[in-house]
Structure 1
């Protein structure tokens, strides 16, 4: 393996860390709709209107008004990200995958308080990413990066009449941001954590018991992580560049419009139209002494489309299937962030649930996500992510009390 230090002039050594951490501070992680519920088997289709279990409060708390009595959904999920990073320089070894296996779990509870009011509480994690580049050419700058977020969400819904319902929820979010690099004198680790609040508002309109539409709004989650970084400059002995990073690692505000229609006693169709405000992260500044760098125009708003079907095969078995498309958050796939391997994505989901009795059911789901490739310009570490693939496996238990 060729030595990076032996090949890098002064300017690339300055620009490289600036670009790396500017990307991490702007958009940060990967926003996921998947949290281990039956929505995974539907590729998220209808998630703000389906309202068949307490997981509806993830996107639309007003959907709780459609649930009777007390209900509980507990889900477990496993993600595998096949996201290799291929360096442009053939003398440097590629990274097999920077993501690998990533577990998650969720808990959703709903309770009908009276004919008008319903309450819910949820715990889930659907924003973040764990990256592990291992012993690669850029380990002096980045070896591992982890962004984890966990949300505790109380929700409340009010049924106005037989057609209209309103909902609101408070997200209490805990975020952890950790970095690791290998300086040649041992590993250096830094991490920081923060608490942040956000809100959800929801609206559900039922034309009749077989047809409904839901609209959910989620405000952004804004974390403030303080990481101090100092980079030696071998070309100027005894000097260093100091990077003081106050990163804003956020999940954007978003809107989700969903529809659900029962075609017959055993067939239903559903769909989504969504929007996420990634373009608001185009004005963050990264500073060095005497120098300010603002990376404008890297991100743009994204749009989401999904359609799914549900088939009651027998009184016990229900089958799910769906397809979804999300546009890329990058303006240019040839100018992307090393720490956010992302692009336009197609989701294919399938799943099934089995009802043991009227109270207890078990759900299983699988989803395949194919993402467009992206290129990263980082001097000697320039490379590309060739069409990453993600695989989601989920199982959940649903109980009606």
Structure 2
């Protein structure tokens, strides 16, 4: 999922030797996660599925998100409007490698990631926040073990690099006539988590999958670069010790559980169904601590995310496989809790994909999906002289284009 200016990537990217022939299938993003286990991308969605491979497999994929939105709002005290029309484009590469070690053990390595950002411009609340950009990229090495013909399990490590930037205006209150200054906060860190997964092959055509990903809590030292300060304002801030204070930023990436089923019919068509729980109530975008004391604490109370996705794939010709899929989530935060910093709402998607069997061990995949987010109504705390800012999205659309190539087979 991604809103305008890369607001949300949501990436929901997070098994057993089969005795029947296996076919790789094209799944729209967010579908076929827990139990498909028919391409190298299972290294990121359910690593236990890599135990099905008896030779090396490699997958390269590019996800291109293009988004547009229209936001309309007004201040309750004055009626002054604050409206924006924005668009954004983001390219996300995904790489997955599967390497069998012996009859029991298989290793894999993949990159997964999410990111979100927004630029609120010259709005009256710019002294609290003007723009932010946060990116998480995870290297995900895994080791799978095939217990028997039905069961396989895997353990994974999540090595996550996080980069955070935020800008806010600084009012030159002691220098009348001076334009606003700027505070730019930058921080990055490397943090660690883990994952556990399992796959059960109930029959030649049916698989069940389950995955767990742990919570990750990056804590990093930050640099606060101030520019454009008037001489009097800078002197006062220095006298109060505001320019030399140590700054740290804490955030939380939530734990999650995915469960799903894959079933193949006699005509080679197949269906998948996945359900997910994400402990989003523990999510924190960023909390700032100056010399250990909290400042600008994020008090928004998010709701746990429950997601449901399904796909249907079928052979359209000798070398072509087609797929359709859909996904939906509940509302991620109550309307009265939502703020301007991260304007989330319920999400849904529809997608169409195709895969061409180039050679026996080489496939090309392409796809198009639409992601929709709710109107995310917001009513901010009152701003002196202006009142509360009340608004919502009038339109909010994201299109995803997928293209990828896979080498190797089951």
Would the TM-score normalized by the shorter structure come out above 0.5? yes
Q: Secondary structure at the match of 1:367?
A: strand
How many angstroms apart in 1 are the aligned matches of 2:8 and 2:288? 18
Could you tell which deviates more after superposition, 156-165 or 180-189? 180-189
Q: Secondary structure at the match of 1:47?
A: coil
Q: Secondary structure at the match of 1:96?
A: strand
Q: How far off its partner does 1:114 sit?
A: 1.7
Q: 2:327 aligns with which of 324, 327, 342?
A: 324
Question: Does the aligned pair in 1 maintain the 2:300–2:338 contact within 8 Å?
Answer: no
Q: How far off its partner does 1:192 sit?
A: 0.4
User: Which has the greater radius of gyration?
Assistant: 2
How many angstroms apart in 1 are the aligned matches of 2:319 and 2:26? 20
Q: How far off its partner does 1:34 sit?
A: 5.6
Q: Structure 2 length as normaliser, TM-score?
A: 0.79
Q: 2:159 aligns with which of 160, 166, 172?
A: 172
Q: How far off its partner does 1:267 sit?
A: 0.7
Please state if 1:305 is matched with 2:314: no
Aligned to 2:12: 33
Question: Does the aligned pair in 2 maintain the 1:221–1:250 contact within 8 Å?
Answer: yes
Q: How far off its partner does 1:156 sit?
A: 0.8
Q: How far off its partner does 1:250 sit?
A: 2.4
- C-alpha root-mean-square deviation of aligned residues, in Å? 3.3
Aligned to 2:132: 145
CA distances 1:95-145 after superposition (whole Å, capped 9, x unpaired): 213x621221111000122221111011232x2212223444444443321
How many angstroms apart in 2 are the aligned matches of 1:39 and 1:389? 27
How many angstroms apart in 2 are the aligned matches of 1:203 and 1:260? 14
Could you tell which deviates more after superposition, 269-278 or 143-152? 143-152
Instruction: Describe the shift of the 1:359–1:247 C-alpha distance in structure 2 as closer, same or farther (beyond 3 A).
Output: same
Q: How far off its partner does 1:246 sit?
A: 3.8
Aligned to 1:120: 108
Q: Structure 1 length as normaliser, TM-score?
A: 0.81
Aligned residue-pair number: 367
Q: How far off its partner does 1:162 sit?
A: 0.4
Q: Secondary structure at the match of 2:50?
A: helix
Q: How far off its partner does 1:287 sit?
A: 6.8
How many angstroms apart in 2 are the aligned matches of 1:284 and 1:143? 15
CA distances 1:167-189 after superposition (whole Å, capped 9, x unpaired): 11111110100112344355442
Q: Which runs of 5 or more structure 1 residues have no equivalent in the other structure? A: 1-27
How many angstroms apart in 2 are the aligned matches of 1:339 and 1:244? 24
Could you tell which deviates more after superposition, 274-283 or 158-167? 274-283
How many angstroms apart in 1 are the aligned matches of 2:304 and 2:29? 20
Q: 2:362 aligns with which of 357, 360, 363?
A: 360
Question: Does the aligned pair in 1 maintain the 2:287–2:294 contact within 8 Å?
Answer: no
How many angstroms apart in 2 are the aligned matches of 1:291 and 1:351? 47
Aligned to 2:397: 389
Q: Which runs of 5 or more structure 2 residues have no equivalent in the other structure? A: 1-6, 15-23, 171-178
